[in-house]
Amino acid sequence: MAEPIRNYQTRAVPGAGVDAGIDQGLRAYMIKVYNLMGLGLLITGLAAVGTIMLATTTDPASAVATLPSGQMLTSFGYAIFGSPLRWVVIFAPLAAVLFLSFRVQSMSVAAAQTTFWVYAGLVGLSLSSIFLVYTTASISQTFFATAAAFGALSLYGYTTKRDLTAFGSFLIMGVFGIIIASVINIFLHSSALSFAVSALGVLIFSGLTAYDTQKIKEMYFEGDASDVAGRKAIMGALTLYLDFINLFMFLLQFMGDRR
């Protein structure tokens, strides 16, 4: 792993020109991270909306199934939501993100970026099912609330002088905790446990947004080769993208109006 920028600064020759160069490079690096993340979210949103448009219909003659909410599914919709193919839709994003995480160091920047776009599209395909559960208006409201919260938390992580390392380690342990609790609740079907998991999820991924932003900032090193910097930016974008998606999903369980 490249040396954090704060270590680089301690060895730099004193002078405003050096610091300005570092700041300019860091700004460009972080802008690239946010741009990649934003484009990933855009791809996810377009994929989700496109999928639900193809999966549902208002024409009874074109419907092959009707949900309890009254929504009618096309043959495509039934295939991805009602047939065994739904398991492929659910687990395909996991396979893609694991592939990118383990292979990124041996991939070219273009290949890593393309894999990230594919992953974002698969997440959109998987998340399209939220339109069957929640109203479109509440999904939109939750998205904008998530964007506002994410922006504030990421700005804090970028600007704070406080070291969030110990805080982040605690939050990562919390992620494993909510994963275990979620698996247990598959069998218990407890509304109280579901509420607790959602509340903890919002808190944990809010904290992780600030922690991950600080970590991504500190991974920057002015002397990195362009391909190394490119791969770092992609993995940084992936990390913040996952924080955003998880924060959005947990908030949706509080703010979303069910159909």
Residue 28 is predicted with a pLDDT of 92
* SS3 state of residue 134: strand
Closest CA to 23 of 158, 211, 150: 158
How far, in Å, CA of 5 to CA of 18, rounded? 12
pTM for the model stands at 0.89
Rg of the chain over Cα atoms, rounded to whole angstroms, equals: 21
* SS3 state of residue 84: coil
At residue 15 the predicted structure's pLDDT band, cuts being 50, 70 and 90, is very low
* SS3 state of residue 258: strand
> Across the strands, what pairs with 258?
134
Q: Convert the pLDDT of each residue in 26-72 to its tens digit.
A: 999 999 999 999 999 999 999 999 999 999 999 999 999 999 888 99
Q: From residue 14, give the alpha-carbon distance in Å to each of 17, 18, 26.
A: 9, 7, 18
Amino acid at 210: A
